[in-house]
Structure 1
């Protein structure tokens, strides 16, 4: 009996050890969820995200690793667009599982490089350290089927209420289109500010759509409007001319 009891205790202890060693998994925060908050070290000093940025729009970018080809091209492109995001009232932060010293070295090296027709530029946004992978886990940036210890290319656009407004994920071998990310921010801001929708392939300055009309009766009410900026292609597709 004592032998059986010892075996059971041993098996239970072994199970607990194995369970403790398994990495904790987190769900990806979804659109409309509150952005997970965190405090961390960065190349701009300690950061408290998203509260440090107040009522601004924010974008949190993740990348697999410093001193790698595609990631380097992305940081250089993002740095060249800093003024564009500033004009939109957007605060940018970048995170990876690299140590802060690696971030500093990489940043210094990147700031000496001319890329894609741009002169070398100072990187003003913070590169955030997440060597314990806690933040990356909370944002669902560690995809076990690709890298268990490195972030995928993630993009979390966060609105002024600190809620997730849009999410993008890219594989490590494909660089991001920062013009598309900028366009998405403008579309989100336009939709919120004007209470409208943006159609497929919408570009800033193009006509927008009115919220969904669920019946012909609602459409008839819209069609009787004296507003010359409103037109339709069908009872369920109403547009408003750009300002």
Structure 2
């Protein structure tokens, strides 16, 4: 099977974590969620990633986002790893909480199928994924990284800002958008309705084709 696709519901798995046993849907509640996998505990790149996640935890919390990490290591290994403090305060709620599976067969199929394909002959996952789920428990974003490339959590935070804005407003975010920049009016929105929804005004970029589909407006509140 191809694993989770955008719009698919997250598997409601149960697991032991550094914060005790959880059921995933209950853990998320009415929050957004980020689940990120990593190859093993005590790997150098992931140590720096978890440190950055810890530093940005207050920013994700402001956005009603819960973070949880996934690997095949034990809870005890996770607890030992969380004592690492040299590279960015990994201690504490770096991945709030950290997931633990000793046997990959215990991973729900929707997640397992994504990880098994990226394993070497020792069955250790070599790739890292980021899944972003909405309050409806459906997948909004999935990113695959090789183990040698550190994830950019500032970019993940930016993506969450875009996902949350576009989930509730009839807008899209253009290339390199960041919070506070102008956004794009979705093409399906008629001009008269757009004017009512966006009282700050709409401006259209002139194109050689003469088509008026690049419509921008200041970011709505």
> What's the TM-score bracket when you normalise by the shorter of the two chains?
0.7 to 0.9
What does 1:2-41 align with in structure 2 at a 5 Å threshold?
A: 26-41=1-16
- Residue 119 of structure 1: how far off its partner (Å): 5.6
Aligned to 1:128: 99
Q: Which has the larger radius of gyration?
A: 1
Q: TM-score, normalised by structure 2?
A: 0.85
Distance 1:131 1:241, change over 3 A: same
Partner of residue 184, structure 2: 209
Question: Does residue 240 of the first structure (1) align with residue 217 of the second (2)?
Answer: yes
The aligned runs of 1:143-158 (5 Å cut-off) are 143-147=116-120, 149-151=123-125, 152-158=127-133
2:200 corresponds to 1:231:
no
Correspondence for 2:163: 188
Contact 2:10 2:137 in 1 (8 A): yes
SS in 2 for 1:41: strand
Q: What is the number of residues matched between the two proteins?
A: 209
Deviates more, 1:165-174 or 1:143-152: 143-152
- Measured on the aligned residues, the alpha-carbon RMSD in Å equals 2.3
Going from structure 1 to structure 2, the CA distance change for 1:30 and 1:179 (only over 3 Å counts) comes to same
Residues 74-129 of structure 1, C-alpha deviations (whole Å, 9 max, x = no match)? 11111111111101100000010112221111112x2xx233xx567523511111
Q: Is the 8 A contact 2:54 2:89 kept in 1?
A: no
1:114 aligns with 2:92: no
Q: CA deviation at 1:62?
A: 0.4
**1:121–1:107 distance in 2 versus 1, CA, 3 Å:** closer
> For 1:161 and 1:50, how far apart are their aligned partners in 2?
9
Question: Which residue of structure 1 aligns with residue 35 of structure 2?
Answer: 60
Any idea what the Cα deviations from partners look like across 1:168-226, whole Å, max 9, x if unmatched?
Answer: 11001111000000000000001012221111111011111111149xxx55x579879
Give the secondary-structure state (helix, strand or coil) at the position aligned to 1:61.
Answer: strand
Where structure 1 has 5 or more consecutive residues not aligned to the other structure, the ranges are: 1-25
Distance 1:120 1:65 in 2: 15
Decide whether aligned partners of structure 1 residues 127 and 206 sit closer, same or farther in structure 2, where only a CA change above 3 A counts. Answer: same
